[in-house]
Amino acid sequence: MAKLELKYGNHACAEAAIIAGCRFYAGYPITPSSEIAEKMAELLPKHGGVFIQMEDEIAAMGAVVGGSFAGLKSMTATSGPGFSLKQENLGYAFMVEAPCVIVNVQRGGPSTGLPTQPGQQEIMQSLWGTHGDKLIPVFYPGNVQEIMEETIRAFNWAERLRTPVVLLLDEVLGHMRETVDMAQFTPDKVEIWNRKMPDVPPEEYLPYKPGEDDVPAIAPYGTPGYRGHATGLHHDYTGFPTTDPEMCQELIDRLIRKVKNRQPELEKNEEYKLDDAEIAIVTFGTTARAAKTAVDLAREKGIKAGLLRVITIWPSPEETLNKLAKSVKAILVPELNMGQYVFEVERCARGEAPVYRLNRANGKIIYPHEILAKIEEIAKGGK
């Protein structure tokens, strides 16, 4: 039976983190993400966890890596400029394979931009923000119920693959109250994954020797007998630096492969009225909610529109997007930025259908009637 409760988006993220088993939060408050920190500061001590406010976002991300290596499920939340500051240690977390969740409640950028208004401008940065090659899972829920689901999923994949996972929200989602069915989050309904532990005696232990799943079993620091070493430098199975070209290539191949190979399992989309669609909208987050209404409005006018709402932004649903491009006459990608995910959609469409854009970066959300107008234009053969 449903148990409907009104929940604040940012609070739902914090509550779900606790359900997922998060017991360490390090952060630095920034609008519009601060309520996540606020709620974690309230909840963590009650669950035997630790909350720490650091001197800035750089230190907060460093502390998250430390908390994770000490064995606790760890997270931080930030927004806009704070997400930029976290990039260096996010890359470090990827390299040393520290499971953690980084929430970015997107506001208008660049720079300090529009602190209190929504944006979707970190679609690319969430994957490419830190230097060097990287592939990490990036999830983007579309409502408050899903914020809870995706927060738990982010922790699960972070632990299973020993990788940072980015959870994207936007100001509208973070600052919205919405009905949530809490009956979906009772312990018997929620699946929780934990990182694997070494199954060898201390003398045989090599912290960065991967298992068949490409994931190493790293003992939490302080485990008696299990000595570890972590470095952002290229390293071998011992965790100590190496410049051996074969080892270095093997490391980067594996770090990317362990995520890429799971793409089919990681993929998550919502398909709405796509079966007979001639014009498909591809979008995410708050903009997808306007798009869904726009699909209904277009169908009332006799235009066969449909929606693919992408929830796992990275790795992208390459084959799904390619198949979609083959089945429709045109694709429209509305997003609250000057055109980001549209590049990925174009790449995956491989010329099978024209891809149109609807962009905005002024802090205002895109309304259903604006997407409808664009659909009508495309249907008439304009652009």
By CB under 8 A, name the binding residues for other proteins: 2, 4-6, 32, 116-117, 143, 145, 171-172, 175-179, 286, 289-290, 292-293, 296, 365, 367-369
Residue 375 backbone dihedrals phi, psi, to 5 degrees = -60, -45
Smallest gap from Cβ 43 to other proteins, in A, equals 18
Give the C-alpha separation, 145 to 143, whole Å.
6
DSSP 352: S
Smallest gap from Cβ 287 to other proteins, in A, equals 10
Smallest gap from Cβ 289 to other proteins, in A, equals 5
Compare residues 145 and 316 and give the one whose CB is closer to other proteins: 145
Compare residues 353 and 365 and give the one whose CB is closer to other proteins: 365
Smallest gap from Cβ 383 to other proteins, in A, equals 25
Compare residues 100 and 173 and give the one whose CB is closer to other proteins: 173
H or E element, residue 150:
helix 144-161
H or E element, residue 8:
strand 4-8
Q: Which residue has the tokens 């006018």?
A: 301
Computed from CA positions of residues 28, 34, 39, 42, in that sequence, does the dihedral angle turn out positive or negative?
Answer: positive
Compare residues 105 and 165 and give the one whose CB is closer to other proteins: 105
Compare residues 121 and 286 and give the one whose CB is closer to other proteins: 286
Compare residues 20 and 176 and give the one whose CB is closer to other proteins: 176
Smallest gap from Cβ 143 to other proteins, in A, equals 7
Give the C-alpha separation, 379 to 383, whole Å.
9
* CA end-to-end distance (rounded Å), the chain: 47
Give the C-alpha separation, 333 to 327, whole Å.
16
Smallest gap from Cβ 300 to other proteins, in A, equals 14
Per-residue exposure over 48-79, b if at least 16 CB sit within 10 Å of its own CB, e if not: ebbbeebeebbbbbbbbbbbbbebbbbbbbbb
Smallest gap from Cβ 339 to other proteins, in A, equals 23
Give the C-alpha separation, 26 to 9, whole Å.
19
H or E element, residue 245:
helix 245-260
Smallest gap from Cβ 60 to other proteins, in A, equals 23
Task: Please give the distance of CA 167 from its chain centroid, rounded to a whole number.
Answer: 3
Closest alpha carbon to 106 in 185, 162, 156, 173: 173
At 320, the amino acid letter reads T
Compare residues 182 and 256 and give the one whose CB is closer to other proteins: 182
Compare residues 9 and 164 and give the one whose CB is closer to other proteins: 9
Closest alpha carbon to 164 in 264, 285, 314: 314
